[in-house]
Amino acid sequence: MTAAIIDGKAVAADLRLKLADEVSEFTRTTNVQPHLAAILVGEDPASAVYVRNKQKACDKSGIRSTLHRLPDVITEDGLLVLIHQLNNDPSVHGILVQLPLPAHIREQVVLDAVTPLKDVDCFHPENVGLMVQGRPRFLPCTPHGVQQLLLTSGIQVAGSYAVVLGRSEIVGKPMAMMLVQRGAAADATVTVCHSRTKNLADITRQADIIVAAIGKPRFVTADMIKPGAVVIDVGINRVEDKLVGDVDYGPVSEVASAITPVPGGVGPMTIAMLLQNTLTAARLSVGREVHG
């Protein structure tokens, strides 16, 4: 068996085309252009690349993007002043704080400072709570991207046993919660595994769907996969000069029925979902959409 490749780059491109039409229609009827403000603190090369890719995607979709570059010596209070200004700027609909932040800045304090109505990453506890209750204002970008890949690939999620590797606030926890909800690409039975999980391979070998977001290169090996399982690799790790996922792609692709590559799998979907959230935020700002 050789796994079918789930092409996130192609799916994301299709979604961005549809989104561009929606943005154009929204701007035409409201005279409001969706606007994403990104904050980049310091000179981390990977963060700079991520922000640049997000800006390019915004431009292609008709979404205005503004980058606020700040030195890594900025104080936490200085960063909070900028966030307060953006919160109160009616022309800004989404605020993205690129992570990681310098060690002297408390990440949670900064993320909590973003108003929930502009929290397009869905990190604020109010938005997380709404998502957990199944009435989201926004959906977390990477987990939502994973769901869209499962949906467009025609993968049966309802009734399936899904194992999520990793319990981060950004991917693992929300991914598990979204898979267990009622609805499309959901209704799964879910187990979350992490660094303290015992007999991990015994658990993963039972899974119909595995979402790997554990942050360890090539951690998931072929002997951990049930034949025919679907493997979604969220990880992105640099090994020497190569980007690899959390899954040992070659051997695992000989066991799985479908698999996402790294790069070109989940990554492009994360950006597409960020743009979707920015449009949603713009709609909320003019009363065209309500959560619930």
Residue in 98, 147, 181, 276 annotated catalytic: 98
Q: Does residue 263 register a pLDDT over 70?
A: yes
Sign of the dihedral through C-alpha 231, 203, 247, 171: positive
- The whole-angstrom separation of Cα 166 and Cα 236 is 13
Compute how many other C-beta atoms are within 10 angstroms of the C-beta atom of residue 290: 8
User: Residues of the chain with pLDDT > 90: what percent?
Assistant: 93
Tokens read off for 165: 């590797």
- The whole-angstrom separation of Cα 51 and Cα 40 is 8
Name all domains of the chain by residue range, CATH numbers in brackets: 31-117 (3.40.50.10860), 141-267 (3.40.50.720)
Contact 170, 146 (CB under 8 A): no
Q: Give pLDDT tens digits for 218-242.
A: 999 999 999 999 999 999 998 988 9
Taking the chain, what is the end-to-end CA distance rounded to the nearest angstrom? Answer: 43
Least confident of 40-49, 98-107, 116-125, 157-166: 40-49
119 is catalytic: no
198 is catalytic: no
| DSSP string across 204-253 | HTT-SEEEE-S--TT-B-GGGS-TT-EEEE---EEETTEEE-SB-HHHHH
181 is catalytic: no
Q: Give pLDDT tens digits for 36-90.
A: 999 999 988 888 888 999 999 999 999 999 999 999 999 999 999 999 999 999 9
The pLDDT of residue 49:
87
Residue in 7, 9, 33, 54 annotated catalytic: 54
User: Residues of the chain with pLDDT > 70: what percent?
Assistant: 98
Residue in 118, 119, 121, 233 annotated catalytic: 121
